[in-house]
Structure 1
Amino acid sequence: MASFILGLVELGVSAAVHLLFGFYVFSTAVAADISQAAAASGCPLLRRPPPAAGLVDVAAAAEEDDERRGVVLDGSPPPIVLVHGIFGFGKGRLGGMSYFAGAEKKDDRVLVPDLGSLTSIHDRARELFYYLKGGQVDYGVEHSQVYGHTRFGRIYETGHYPVWDEQNPVHFVGHSAGAQVVRVLHQMLAEKAFPGHDTSEDWVLSLTSLSGALNGTTRTYYDGMLYVLT
């Protein structure tokens, strides 16, 4: 009996430690995101002070170098674009945490765009195109009017793969709802749905799904079985 109680206490302490550590990691990451967003908005309280004369701002230089290395300028070998699912996040979010277990940190040609976590599949597909090619995100005139939001979004002054075309295609890997995003984008490319760009389905070298919701969810089959049994 004593060993059983001791085991429960040990389990409780271990669970509490892991929960607290997880909360610490998550809260630190969120705080970093808030700080980054506030600094980008021009908040004077969070603006980095200029370096002293003759000194180099190492942190700023590192950020600039990281952004530069994140831009792929040539077309060989083709990059691999990892697309997150709902509630997901891309590179640079949550304090540097990685949605894809650090894959983007092992090779500069592995790209992880930060798309809307709760936006529609259509909007995320449009954002993904301009993330790679560059330019201002255009959600489309008809779509923006039907769904009541602005037509234009974020501006990518330099795309992460500006040479993207049928001669320089890419590999897409979509996780969960990200698989739907890359399939919709592939269809948009085939339909030449991006003004000013002569796209085609040949811009995509491969599409890979990781637990993608391609045929709905197994929950529907489960509910159907319950319905039959009752």
Structure 2
Amino acid sequence: MKLNFRYFFPAFLLCCSLIPTYSTRAESQTGTEISGNDYPIVLVHGLTGWGRDEMFGFKYWGGLNDLEQYLNNSGHRTYTAVVGPISSNWDRAVELYYYIKGGTVDYGAAHAKKYGHERYGQTFPGLYSEWNGKSKIHLVGHSMGGQTIRTLTELLENGSETEQEYYKAHPEEGISPLFEGGKHWVHSVTTIATPNNGSTYADAEGVKTLVKSMVTNFAALSGAGGENIVYDFKMDQWGLKRSPEETFLSYMDRVMNSPVWTSNDISSYDLNTEGAAELNTWVKAQPDVYYFSYTGDASYKGLLTDHYYPLLTMTPLLWEPSLFIGSYTRNSQTPLIDKSWWQNDGIVNVVSSKFPFGQANKPYEGTIQKGIWNYYPVQFTWDHFDFVGISEAHAIGIREINDYYFKIANQLHGLPK
């Protein structure tokens, strides 16, 4: 693979400076915001994400830079949520509900019976226990976190017909308030580098390998390695809890070799194009919620082929997935995969990130509408991890992630109630 810098380098220098600026009535001439609303922002991590007390303080949102703290210091109330890093979007959305609201996780009686895991999970004190229809929140999800927050919003508003029917037949077993619906508690949903229509790399069954590499690589960035990694896969519902005497590498191998990966109730299914298409049949944009999406592209079109290749600035961990995505096609099943899927950020196809197929959408041009996807221009040269400040490019100062999220927060807090 050889890059032709005559075509690439000038565009790279130009686009590195293109941190987006948003016109919003929330920003004054001094740079401080005059809020249209004061709803807190909740950050939701993607695949392999971790909590603030894991990875020796190396943050998913910002790396060595604490993005949550920065936003709070800047006047934007922000929380970081933690959910199962490799769990399905259903399980993650349920965990997210209880992590924010508080209580014992109830995955649903019908769901637990269907997939063969425990119905109940951890008990949380509540990140924002006053959360309700008047005290709403803004949900911001990176990568798979975007799918998760969409799923949660759907369940809050419309509940689960399957769980409701099960409850009618078995009233003695009870039902989680989440599955009852009628909760208009989310003001906005923002997806960042999210595979809203799946990733073709997940179609290649590359998720397990990527998970293992991501955990060990991010642990190394935190200063940990081998048995010293402080990380929890949070798969207790599947009986995959780490025992006190178990080494981390043994624990990780047990998780990676578990039969759970053959289930459809797992991240690898939700992240592939078939699983994402199934999710999109019932997870819809809600008419009373603002929807935004941000997309990166760290690939370039080859001069001799139509294939797309990773830019030299892409995080090396992503080169192999990017090369696969940049040339993969499929005609044997739906969705059909052609060259329109080849541009990518290293993990997610550009065409997949903008909005879920078949849902109302428009490019952001200064006006915002509820109930449809307002998608922003593609950030050329930004790879998947640039968007959370844990890429090598950000570490050397190319990305100003604090400024990027400050502008997003200004946008969200400038929305009318």
CA shift at 1:215, angstroms? 2.0
2:121 aligns to what SS in structure 1?
Answer: strand
Q: Which residue number corresponds to residue 179 of structure 1?
A: 146
Q: Say if 2:186 is the partner of 1:204.
A: yes
- AA in 2 matched with 1:209: T
Looking at structure 2, the residues matched to 138 and 128 of structure 1 have their Cα atoms a distance apart, in angstroms, of 11
Contact conserved, 1:103 with 1:110, CA < 8 A, in 2? no
- AA in 2 matched with 1:223: Y
Contact conserved, 1:85 with 1:175, CA < 8 A, in 2? yes
Contact conserved, 2:108 with 2:176, CA < 8 A, in 1? no
Query: Which of these residues, 72, 80, 102, is aligned with residue 134 of structure 1?
Result: 102
Looking at structure 2, the residues matched to 228 and 182 of structure 1 have their Cα atoms a distance apart, in angstroms, of 28
Query: Which of these residues, 188, 191, 195, is aligned with residue 176 of structure 2?
Result: 195
Q: 1:141 to 1:228 in 2, by over 3 A?
A: closer
Looking at structure 2, the residues matched to 228 and 123 of structure 1 have their Cα atoms a distance apart, in angstroms, of 32
Q: 1:126 to 1:221 in 2, by over 3 A?
A: same
Unaligned runs of 5+ in 2: 1-36, 161-174, 202-324, 332-336, 340-417
Percent identity, aligned pairs only? 36
Q: Which residue number corresponds to residue 111 of structure 2?
A: 143
Looking at structure 2, the residues matched to 99 and 159 of structure 1 have their Cα atoms a distance apart, in angstroms, of 20
Contact conserved, 1:115 with 1:127, CA < 8 A, in 2? yes
- AA in 2 matched with 1:174: G
CA shift at 1:79, angstroms? 1.0
Contact conserved, 1:182 with 1:207, CA < 8 A, in 2? yes
Q: Which residue number corresponds to residue 78 of structure 2?
A: 110
CA shift at 1:98, angstroms? 0.8
Unaligned runs of 5+ in 1: 1-75
Q: Which residue number corresponds to residue 52 of structure 2?
A: 91
Q: Which residue number corresponds to residue 89 of structure 2?
A: 121
Q: 1:228 to 1:216 in 2, by over 3 A?
A: closer
- AA in 2 matched with 1:177: M
CA shift at 1:217, angstroms? 2.8
Q: In angstroms, what is the RMSD of aligned CA positions? A: 2.6
CA shift at 1:221, angstroms? 7.6
Looking at structure 1, the residues matched to 133 and 80 of structure 2 have their Cα atoms a distance apart, in angstroms, of 21
Query: Which of these residues, 213, 218, 223, is aligned with residue 195 of structure 2?
Result: 213
CA shift at 1:128, angstroms? 0.3
Q: Say if 2:341 is the partner of 1:224.
A: no
Instruction: Specify the structure having the higher radius of gyration (Cα).
Output: 1
2:113 aligns to what SS in structure 1?
Answer: helix
Q: Say if 2:161 is the partner of 1:161.
A: no
CA shift at 1:90, angstroms? 2.4
Pairs aligned (count): 153
Q: C-alpha deviations, 1:90-136, integer Å up to 9, x for none?
A: 22221221111111122183111121111111100000000110000
Runs of at least 4 residues off by over 4 Å: 218-221, 225-229
TM-score by length of structure 2 reads 0.34
Which of 1 and 2 has higher RCO (CA within 8 Å, sep 6+)? Answer: 2
Q: 1:105 to 1:225 in 2, by over 3 A?
A: same
Q: Which residue number corresponds to residue 62 of structure 1?
A: none
Q: C-alpha deviations, 1:137-187, integer Å up to 9, x for none?
A: 00000111111111000001x211111111111001110000000000011
Q: Which residue number corresponds to residue 171 of structure 2?
A: none
- AA in 1 matched with 2:118: T
Looking at structure 1, the residues matched to 181 and 38 of structure 2 have their Cα atoms a distance apart, in angstroms, of 20
Looking at structure 1, the residues matched to 197 and 108 of structure 2 have their Cα atoms a distance apart, in angstroms, of 27
1:78 aligns to what SS in structure 2?
Answer: coil
TM-score by length of structure 1 reads 0.60
